[in-house]
Structure formats: C-alpha cells, structure tokens
Chains A and B, each alone.
Chain A
C-alpha cells in the first residue's frame, strides 16, 4: 500500500526524481568503474609473469628489477656480466634460465635480446605460453620477432626490414645492420606486445662496428662476416630462472644474493609485485576514497531534494493525516521513496558500468594493455547496491524526521 503510494509519489515528480536518480547512478557507476579498473589493472600486472621462479639482475631494488626486466619500465643500474650469468646458469638448482638484454629501441618500442628459450619458458596469465601468430620464431642472426602492438602500430608484416636504434631515445640508428621480421606474436596483454625481440647475439652483432656509442667511421662489417664472428655477449641485463624444485628457490635466491664476485640480486616475482602494489596502494586507496565521496555527495544531493520537496508537499502530508495516516506512515513513505531512488540509482549505475565495460574493454586493452574482465555481478556488487540503499535510508532520516514533526501540527493551518 505504502509502496504503491511511494511509487506514485515519485512518478508524480518524475523530473526531479529522475535527476536525483541520475546523479546517484553516475556516482555509483563511477565507484564501480574505479573498482573494475583498479582490480583489472592489478590482475593485468599480476598476469604479466607466471611460472618464473626467480629474476636475476644487478643488485638494486626488487621493485626496480621487476619493473625493468618484466615491464620494461625504467632502466637497469648495471648489467650482469656474462661470467656471472654462466655461473648462475650452471648451478644445479637451475632448470632453465633465459637471459634478457635491453637497451636498444625501435621507434617507441624497446628491443630485447634473448634466446629461443624465452618463447618456451616465458608464461603469462597463469601459465599461458607465447604464440606466434604469423611467421616463425627467429632463426637467423638478423631475424626479429615483434609483439602484436608493434606490428599493429607500425603496420609491419612478416618479411619487412626493421632498423634498430642505439639507446632508447637516440637518432643514431644501426642502419648498417637491418633486421628482418620473421614472426609476429599473438596479443598477450603484456609488455611483450610492445617489444621487438631479437637474439642475444644480434644485440652484439649490431654493435660490432660501434665504439663508445658511435659508429667507427669507414668501418663496416658485412652481415655475412658478422655471422662468422663469435658473438658471445659481454653482459646481459637480467635473467629469468626456473628451478628444478620450488623447494630450492630460497636456497638459490640466497646463493645469488650472496654471490661474492658480483653484486647480484635475485627476486621472487610474486613478492616483488606485492611490494610494488604496496607502494601503489596509497594512490589506490585515495582513488577509492574519492569515488566513495562522490557517492556520498550524490546521496546528500538526494537529501537536499527531499528537503525541498517537503515544503511543496505540506498540503499532501496534511491530507494524509486528515485521512487517518499516522505520522509514522509519513516517515515510512519518505524513507521508502528515498530507498527506491537510491536503489534504482544504484542498479542503473551498475548497468551503466556494464555498458561502459562493453564499449571500453577493447579500447583500454589496446591502449593500455589492461584487460578489464566482464564478469556477472556478484556478491560484491550486491553489497554495494545494498550499501547505497541503506545509506540513502540513513540520509533521508533527517528530512523524514522533520516531516514527522511538522505533520503533527503543520499543514492543517496552511499560511499561504
């Protein structure tokens, strides 16, 4: 009975009520959207590396090592000498080891030197392997495999030549040693998509005629001559390690961290990621707090509309009273109206988020490499809707209380 009354009453003021609901819907949509992006970004980060037990690099910080070796963010402070790399690789705990050599670039994309083992052992999203979409994994010294984003952005196809630039933001290109694209990887949603992968020897090869960061004038070694050369790298940037048994992980980590000949650092990727997340966590909390404040603002806006509606509804309330409605009924009616507005707003907000997700998912994925999963609303979403309804009820208590007090005496003696 009261519910029908409440609905009819809301319907009678459709425009104001509609605006209030819209404000709540947008605020709830923002809140849920922020949550989605936050968890999506976190999962995307966490999914970037899996199956690797240890990452080894020069001794710096674990977060820094993780960022430059896996996410290609920032730079290494030092390299790991080839001798040390060999020492680590020959330890009996090591099941496989994949070297990574960074430092050159192609346009805005980083070039990574590695071995074929990278394609075998690098795993993402809970153990998925890299897949070659077109062409094959590099075969020749001057073969390059490019990530999906590189191919898409620069419009490359298998067989195209590609020139690697020295350093990360320089114009000195290794024009004398052009590479050929041998394969294009399928999209992974990881930084591999934005990487040009060449062999470790190729990184050495492109620097054959280079001394101190510049090409030696007049000297040019032909590609065939270079193929004959012994291209053992002097150093690598980092290495990914898989151990034979997880039980040996800590022991190997300690051995590498205490390696006397060179200051090395071995990290557990999962732990470093958590550390990184601990740093980002502050900003994350701030983001959540801001979006929660927006929801509260919308609810306070609703309170304001209810307050202002009380004035114009004095006569209505009076008539209810005359017809025998108790003051309690008036309070219930107002609370119910507020909860309906909040509830409808929250559910609309939820729908808005899903609509937004359907539109934004491919865009966000290709632009930022963040995969936002579209999952059916669960307990979490239900709780948020419920929280908004309860909060709506709480804020409407104040106007309801006022209406209760007024309806006792007021309205019968309308002054206007």
Chain B
C-alpha cells in the first residue's frame, strides 16, 4: 500500500483533550480509505458513504481561501449524486429518491457545508444553492481553526430500484472522480445477511452475484 496512508488517531486525540469532562471517543480515521454501506430492502436501497477529506479534496484543514472553499463545495455537490460515483447496472432501473452530503469536522461535529438534494433531478445543482451555503459559512466562523483537525465527507442516499436483483455489480467511478481515494470498505446487507468487501483503485468493480 502507498506509504502516505496513515492512521491519524493520535493527532485527533490531542485536539480532543480540550473538552475534558465529556465522553471522549473518536472514530478511526484512515487516509485513503473510505466506507460505503449499502442495505437492500425490497425495492429500496439505502447507502451511506464516508471518506476522509484528504481523499476527496486533498486537504483537511479548515478552508480559508476561496479556492479551498470552492473545492469543498464542488466535492459536496458531486457527492450528492451517488449514481455517478457508485454505478449500478441499468437493468436495475434505480433512481435517487433522496441524497444528502456534507463535510463533517471530527473534533466539533461542525457541518461546514451541507448539500441536501431531495428529488433525483440531477441536473438541478444551480449555482445559487452553493452561494447560499458559502454565505452561510462566512458568518459561522470556527474557533478551532488552529487545531490540527481531521474532517470527513459524508453522504446518505436512498435509491428506489425497480429491479434490485439486477444489481450484480457495483462500479466505482468514485476512484476516477477523486484521485486521492485508494480504497473503499464496502458493507452490504441483503436478505441473505451482511457481507464486507474491500474495493481498491486497481479493481474498481465489485461483483455481487449470489447475494439475492
């Protein structure tokens, strides 16, 4: 594996010691590795996605320059289109019924950027939406800018599939869109139980035969 993959937990722990009395716990945070959870129930497919900021935009410090902000906004908008990132066979006839994506900063749970997307009209990422969020961001100044923070992009999606049994592969165009991402840990729940997979950049396809 590439050498810049690292477990950055100690750093985050240092950042967290500021809050003394509370319960202190942090999720593992590993650069290069994202997570995708998929659950099937009838015609509904629920997906959850999570990846470190380093994978998606290449940095995890708090965005201060306009350039960084634009990068985050673009990434959040891209992550709101799950079927462009995690492609399912056309025969499954899936459409997005609900999609949201956000950037979460680990040490304070601040939502820096949020992108809600309620219908599956994918072309409708109008610019004013982004601007509104950018403005909103401006007067929400964070006081922990100096702390070595880690952040993660998250997405939650609901798909409606006419024929979910036709989903025999998942193709991860995600790796083409985000060149810093190396691996995704996938967990899939089907009526036959739960299974875990690792999908890597070299082989961005996941065969799901025999799960239905």
Contacts and interface: CB of A to CB of B under 8 A. Distances in A.
Partners in one complex: yes
A246 B196 contact: no
Interface in B25-74: 25, 37, 39-41, 44, 46, 48
A121 to B, nearest CB: 15
A269 B187 contact: no
Interface residues of B, number: 19
B189 interface: yes
A250 B187 contact: yes
Contacts of A258: 25
A275 B196 contact: yes
A270 B194 contact: yes
B41 A271 contact: no
A247 B23 contact: no
A274 B195 contact: yes
Contact of A249 (B23, B39, B44): B39
A270 B195 contact: yes
B2 interface: no
Contacts of B37: 250
A268 interface: yes
Nearest to B46: A247
A246 B41 contact: yes
A139 B158 CA distance: 45
A246 B187 contact: no
Given A246-B40, A249-B39, A250-B37, A50 B187 contact: no
B193 interface: yes
Interface in B1-28: 23, 25
A268 B189 contact: yes
Interface string A244-286: 0111011000000010110100001111001100000000000
Nearest to A261: B23
A260 B19 CA distance: 14
A336 to B, nearest CB: 40
Nearest to A49: B193
B33 to A, nearest CB: 16
Interface string B168-210: 0000000000000000000101111111100000000000000
B3 to A, nearest CB: 23
B196 A269 contact: no
A338 B56 CA distance: 60
A245 B42 CA distance: 10
Nearest to A275: B196
A275 B185 CA distance: 13
A261 B23 CA distance: 8
Contacts of B23: 260-261
B41 A50 contact: no
Interface of B: 23, 25, 37, 39-41, 44, 46, 48, 158, 187, 189-196
Top 5 A-B pairs, shortest CB-CB distance: A270-B194, A268-B194, A270-B193, A247-B46, A271-B196
8 contacts: A246-B39, A246-B41, A246-B190, A247-B41, A250-B48, A268-B187, A269-B194, A271-B196
Interface of A: 50, 53, 126, 245-247, 249-250, 258, 260-261, 263, 268-271, 274-275
